[in-house]
Structure 1
Amino acid sequence: MQWTDEGIVVGVRKHGESSVILELMTRDHGRHLGLVHGGRSKTLQPVLQPGNTVQATWRARLDEHLGTFQLEALQLRAAHLIGSSMALYGLATLAHLLRYLPERDPHPALYETLSVLADHLDDPDLAPALFVRFELAILAEFGFGLDLSSCAATGSRDDLIYVSPKSGRAVSAAAGEPYKDRLLKLPGFLIGQMRTNRPRDEDIRDGFALTDFFLHQNVFEPRGQAAPAERARFVALATAGDE
């Protein structure tokens, strides 16, 4: 068995004296593990850092085997991501979320979202909104995608400012007014209403509150788990601009 694919480094753990087990999120083969011989060498260690993009060739005698990776560096982001606390907490959070996905289950659309996020994870103007979109993409891959295109009550596409916690659908200001205390806020940047690169921190907080609700309801709580502590730290740093 053999394939070659592009992948983003999610995690690495030691194996034996000189090797590592590498965890990649690949474009066409999903989250995939493999053994890297000599992965703890001075040559490979800089390549095998979370956030980097590599071209990986995976080989194994049988498909169900762990297999081995041979790697070529494509984009080494770790050198600048490591200087940002927000980026490091973001990397830890996205790795935690990706590990809920079944191994070797392809998610090409999610990979594209992840790739864009990784490019900007240390950018305080872009990373927060991109991370909210990544969490929405994760929810969609789990089968809990939100429908923010039109009002659940009227079908209107105008003045959408709420999300129903029951249906995950957008609600307009007029339709939601009587129930606004029970609805989640829909930040404008999720439906194209942005005037600058960076949304207001209030809108970013609303975006994370939105994804937090549905992640807890559909991902964390059914497994008896809590959100990773790194996520709260990332959100705090991502929304510190107006403090």
Structure 2
Amino acid sequence: MHLSAPAIILSMRQHGEHGAIVRALTPDDGVQPGYVRGGRSRALRPVLQPGNLVQGNWRARTDAQLPALTIELTHSRAPLFAEPLPAAAIAWLTTLTVSTLPEAQPYPRLHAGLAAALDAIEAAPVARRWATLVARYELLLLAELGFGLALDACVATGVTDDLAWVSPRSGGAVSRAAAYGHEPRLLPLPAFLRDGGEAPDWPALFAALAITRHFLDRDLLRDRAADLLAARDRLGGLLARAAA
């Protein structure tokens, strides 16, 4: 097995006295694990920071063997970890990705979506702008893994206009008329999550994040929800401070 590809570092776990097991997301070959010799060294630890862009080379003699991985840094996002809000966002996105995607399965749309979200975190001075991409990435992840939400028509009536709510059971949109009297049981649907457009205001953004959190918890994270959602809730708390 020999694979050479650009990749986004997702996780690094110490292995042995000096090495590290690294998982990275490639555009065409999905999540790829590898053993990095000397990965715990002072020189390599900053390179293996989650969110960094690298050129990776994986080599193994058999498919059953953990590949040896050599890495060349192409772009570092390590300076962002000096700021709590960007650091929390990058940690959540990379942790969510590595915890839910099966290895060696191609997810080119997710690679593109994660890259776009990380680029926005790095480039946008206003958290409200890049947090929109966090919500969109979570929605895309659900869809790519078979748990997509149906937001284009009312699940009760089939109408396609005045969609204002999401059913927490079906994941389908609900029109304002069909929701009448049942609003406390439903999740508010912000228009941007369905229609796109400019960055929403904070209430709409938090409504979107509430939707994706609910379905991530229910459909993907399951037994791992408590540990993983702690990172998501930390990010939510920091965003709430930024909005205040």
Note if 1:84 corresponds to 2:83: yes
Which residue does the alignment assign to 2:20? 20
Q: 1:211 to 1:4 in 2, by over 3 A?
A: same
- How many residues matched? 239
In the alignment, is the contact (CA less than 8 A) between 1:201 and 1:240 conserved in 2?
no
Please give the residue correspondences for 1:82-231 in structure 2 after superposition, counting only pairs within 5 Å: 82-98=81-97, 99-122=99-122, 123=124, 124-192=127-195, 194=197, 196-197=198-199, 199-221=200-222, 223=223, 225-226=225-226, 227-231=228-232
- Determine the C-alpha separation between the residues in 2 that align with 1:49 and 1:224: 23
Which residue does the alignment assign to 2:56? 56
Secondary structure in structure 1 of the residue aligned to 2:31? strand
Q: Deviations over 1:19-43 (max 9, x none)?
A: 2221112222222210112333444
Moved more, 88-97 or 180-189: 88-97
Deviation for aligned residue 1:2: 0.7
Q: CA RMSD in A?
A: 2.0
Secondary structure in structure 2 of the residue aligned to 1:174? helix
- Determine the C-alpha separation between the residues in 2 that align with 1:50 and 1:207: 25
Q: Deviations over 1:103-131 (max 9, x none)?
A: 22222111111111111225413221111
- Determine the C-alpha separation between the residues in 2 that align with 1:135 and 1:69: 29
- Determine the C-alpha separation between the residues in 2 that align with 1:44 and 1:217: 37
Q: 1:90 to 1:224 in 2, by over 3 A?
A: closer
Deviation for aligned residue 1:167: 1.7
Amino acid at match of 1:133: R
- Determine the C-alpha separation between the residues in 2 that align with 1:12 and 1:187: 36
In the alignment, is the contact (CA less than 8 A) between 2:128 and 2:201 conserved in 1?
no
Q: Deviations over 1:166-186 (max 9, x none)?
A: 221112222222322221111
- Determine the C-alpha separation between the residues in 1 that align with 2:161 and 2:32: 42
Which residue does the alignment assign to 1:240? 241
Which runs of 5 or more residues in structure 2 are unaligned? Answer: none
Secondary structure in structure 1 of the residue aligned to 2:54? strand
Deviation for aligned residue 1:133: 1.1
Which protein has the bigger helix share? 2
- Determine the C-alpha separation between the residues in 1 that align with 2:237 and 2:201: 14
- Determine the C-alpha separation between the residues in 2 that align with 1:34 and 1:173: 50
Deviation for aligned residue 1:242: 3.6
Amino acid at match of 1:163: V
Deviation for aligned residue 1:93: 1.9
Which runs of 5 or more residues in structure 1 are unaligned? Answer: none
Q: 1:101 to 1:130 in 2, by over 3 A?
A: same
In the alignment, is the contact (CA less than 8 A) between 2:11 and 2:95 conserved in 1?
no
- Determine the C-alpha separation between the residues in 2 that align with 1:242 and 1:43: 37
Secondary structure in structure 1 of the residue aligned to 2:153? coil
TM-score by length of 1: 0.89
Q: Deviations over 1:182-206 (max 9, x none)?
A: 2111112212354x43x22111111
Moved more, 117-126 or 230-239: 117-126
